[in-house]
Amino acid sequence: MFGRRFTLFHLLGFEVRLDLSWLILAALVSWSLADSVFPQYFPGERSAVYWAMGIAGAVGLFASVVVHEFTHSVVARRRGLPMKGITLFIFGGVAEMGDEPPNPRTEFLMAIAGPLASVGLAGVFFGVTALLEVVGAPAPVMGVFAYLWPINLVLAAFNLVPAFPLDGGRVLRAILWAATGNLRRATWFASITGSVFAFALMGLGVMSLFRGDFFTGIWWLLIGSFVHNAARSAYRSVVTRQVLRGEPVRRFMREDPITVPYYISIEKLVEEIVYRHHHRMYPVMQEDTLVGCITTLDIKGLPRAQWSQHTVKELSRPCTAENTISPDADATAALSRMTSSGNSRLMVVDEDRLVGIITLRDLLQFLTLKVDLEGKTLERR
């Protein structure tokens, strides 16, 4: 979903990140407000004033998005659901979950929290607007707040559309999940509503293109495509986790992983091991003891001319919960760890002893085979 991201700040333990695509949306919103919206409702100001209002309005909008997503994250964390952080990107913002909600109640409370926060913000901005009008504040200042309260209502209303993965779709899934006791079936139905809504948006986009409104048409097509892909991905994720649930990591791990001695040079590691076996991560051993791991990303940061001057030990990373897992852990735990950390390979460790490697590729191959062989049985379940 995301490209290159930068961390903006941390808020109560949550990392707020910015995807570079967000800059496109920020520029479009600022331009739209400065060139069209504010001049229409607050005529007579200089161009520089409108641009200042446009930028302030865009900042306020995205601050509202952060509050919306932050509320999701706080509720989810209080209900025991791991959260990876909040990311602003071209379609707004998203609170990234490390796993599916454990029960319908958690899903419902987490989903409804964001729209309620947006409604609350609309009330706050409306109150500020009324106060500014009473005290006779300058029109540009009042104009920004007059824009922010209705746009928060629009944000809440749009997210409450019962189309997965929007908040309203998650509320729908929670209700269906509670009624049927079947997460997969509830997700399937909710994802269908998401796809229908996505096609409706794309239909609006096509109509806008025929009317000559190129910008609006492309924008609706992009949003519709995003919602459709997100709905399909959510259903695949649920199926994947249900297939893997109950399967131990040791069933998928490779018991003879390629390891590297801690003392060899980076040049020898690359020439004799990396270019031969083509993996991106290798366990680092000191005799029979696992002391860490090294990745091609670690090597990439070192200039080629210095490879012969540095050893594996100098660049290796310590063993942590992000790159290791127990052989008796559930395969879904391995998948969640890979998703949250971005590591496609985990070292399987039993009491500080390396016993194997588990890869995302092995998990997906098992998933593909099981769906091919037991597809109808899994559907009935």
Catalytic residues, which ones?
69
Check if the beta carbon of residue 173 is closer than 8 Å to that of residue 164.
yes
295 token code pair: 């990745």
Check if the beta carbon of residue 111 is closer than 8 Å to that of residue 174.
yes
Which residues partner with 324 through β-bridges?
347
Report the DSSP pairing between strands 281-286 and 92-97.
unpaired
- Roughly how many angstroms between the first and final C-alpha of the chain, as a whole number? 30
Instruction: Give the closest residue to 223 by CA, choosing from 215, 235, 234, 211.
Output: 215
d(CA 297, CA 197): 40
Q: Residues 150-154: contacts with CB within 8 Å, 24+ apart?
A: 150/122, 151/61, 151/64, 152/64, 152/118, 152/119, 152/121, 152/122, 152/125, 153/118, 153/119, 153/122
d(CA 155, CA 137): 26
d(CA 222, CA 366): 33
Q: Which helix (H) or strand (E) holds 329?
A: none
Instruction: Give the closest residue to 64 by CA, choosing from 169, 147, 3.
Output: 147
Phi/psi at 356 (nearest 5 deg)? 170, -175
